[in-house]
Amino acid sequence: MILPLNHLKEPKRSDSADVDVLRETLLAIGRIPMLTGEEEARLARGIEAAKGRWRRSMLRFAPVVSQVASLLDRIVAREERLDRALDVTLSDLKNKERLLEVARMHAATLRGILSEVGQSRTEVLDPLSERQAMKVQRLVDEAHVRTSQIEDFFRSDVLEVHLSGALLRRYHLTRERYESLRNRMVSANLRLAVSIAKKYQHAGVPLLDLIQEGSEGLIRAAEKFQPALGFKFSTYSVWWIQQRVRSAVSEKAKLIRVGDGAAGRIKQLRLAAAGEEGQAPQTLSFEDLPIPPSTPARREELRKSFYACRDVLSLDLPLQSGSQMTHAEAIASDPVDFDGGLIQAEQRQAIGNAFEGLTARETQVLRLRFGLEDGQERNLAEVGRALGISRERVRQIEVASLQKLRQRLSLQQVQ
């Protein structure tokens, strides 16, 4: 249901630029008149006709038709993804083989039309006849080729090569006419985008951004709307608006970007586990989720999605509302000397390399004598008691060990 603008809560007075922009946006949307049912139906038919004329203005040229035929051939050969090249729905993809068969037949028909016009007619300034252009458009429409694909071919092979005069004016006029009618339909239904965006305004994304995403969904709905199906545009566009808004919430609301599909699966598992355990969904761990039997790789993917969907707490946020102390200031921590730790690690590694030429008894004496294990140096008597040898023997081993180390270091310096 479309809510009137006066039902929107007035934002509080603030010097924030975002609040001012939001207020001006809502006021501008409120001044746009809504369409009656008859006006909407007439406008939808006008959009459909204008889009057809715009597509036909680009399909009048043999290079564009040849590119479209090549695209269909690549789709049939499985070299192009069907859902990316063609403007199809999920229900259309269920009958994928039929789409491929249509693409194969229409690619052959398009090449037959090109052979009829002859090689001399493939020049940019010599377009197809009106009858041939209408036939090409019908074939391309039945093959569900995206308008964006046609426009890319037209710009690269025709517009950027050489096009002027009446043909160029016709292209721009049909394009501007289509966009003008489409934008009028979108503007008249922006209240619907606002009403849907309001439901997600506490999900971590600014309301102005949600309205912008909702308007993008409206544009997509206006491009795909078919008035012959008998639905109102507002009914048809709800799904597209919600899809864009939910995707924005999934991608922008959290510090870690999580796909809409993964976030939805984790939410369903949380709710199912909460119903069984009687706990709040956010307090459950990954082990509490009722994960269906799956492969280890799939389970690991779900585990990563689960931890990515957790709320991230900023250390710069205040502890309580109105408090001046942040979470970072409340955390007690001892200062860590990272540089000292790195130096000690390098020293231990160097000492270990130096001791490689010594015997086990010599290494043990030096470690106890100089406190290399625990940082506590010991005298000769203490080392002797620890190893069960005399004080004099400890001194002899120490002297011999140090002499070996000096010789080894001198040899390394000479090398």
CB-count burial class (<10 Å; 0-12, 13-18, 19+) for 287? exposed
Q: Does the pLDDT value for residue 311 go beyond 50?
A: yes
Highest mean pLDDT pick, 219-228, 245-254, 259-268: 219-228
What the chain holds in terms of domains, given with CATH numbers, is 5-34+189-252 (1.20.120.1810), 37-184 (no CATH), 255-330 (no CATH), 341-414 (1.10.10.10)
The backbone torsions φ and ψ at residue 326, rounded to the nearest 5 degrees and listed phi first, read -95, 170
339 residue type, one letter: D
What is the predicted pLDDT for the residue at 3? 39
What is the predicted pLDDT for the residue at 138? 92
Provide the CA 162 distance to its chain's centre, in angstroms: 38
What is the predicted pLDDT for the residue at 368? 86
Tens of pLDDT, residue by residue over 10-61, are 444 444 566 778 888 888 888 888 888 888 889 989 999 999 999 998 888 8
What is the predicted pLDDT for the residue at 352? 73
**Confidence grade of residue 7 (pLDDT, cut at 50, 70, 90):** very low
261 residue type, one letter: G
Q: At what angle do helices 296-308 and 260-277 cross, to 10 degrees?
A: 90
Lowest mean pLDDT among 11-25, 69-83, 234-248: 11-25
Average pLDDT over residues 391-404: 86
What is the predicted pLDDT for the residue at 96? 85
Q: Does the pLDDT value for residue 284 go beyond 50?
A: yes
Q: How far lies 274's CA from each of 66, 260, 281, 306, in Å?
A: 57, 21, 5, 15
Task: Give the Cα separation of 12 and 15 in Å (integer).
Answer: 10
What is the predicted pLDDT for the residue at 6? 41
Q: At what angle do helices 207-224 and 17-30 cross, to 10 degrees?
A: 40
Q: How many helices (H) and strands (E) does the chain have?
A: 19, 0
Task: Give the Cα separation of 301 and 336 in Å (integer).
Answer: 35
Q: Does the pLDDT value for residue 309 go beyond 50?
A: yes
Of residues 174, 172, 192, 185, the one with CA closest to residue 223:
185
What is the predicted pLDDT for the residue at 278? 58
Tens of pLDDT, residue by residue over 336-357, are 555 555 666 676 777 777 777 7
What is the predicted pLDDT for the residue at 310? 63
Q: Does the pLDDT value for residue 180 go beyond 90?
A: yes
What is the predicted pLDDT for the residue at 117? 74
Q: Does the pLDDT value for residue 255 go beyond 70?
A: no
pLDDT top residue among 414 and 10? 414
pLDDT top residue among 267 and 73? 73
What is the predicted pLDDT for the residue at 122? 46
pLDDT above 70: percentage of residues in the chain = 76
What is the predicted pLDDT for the residue at 46? 92
DSSP-H helix ranges across 189-232: 190-198, 207-224
Tens of pLDDT, residue by residue over 108-164, are 999 998 888 764 444 445 678 888 889 999 999 898 898 888 988 888 888 766 666
**Confidence grade of residue 257 (pLDDT, cut at 50, 70, 90):** low
- Average pLDDT taken over every residue of the chain: 78
Buried-exposed string 199-225: b where 16+ CB fall within 10 A, e elsewhere: ebbeeebebbbbbbbbbbbbbbbbbeb
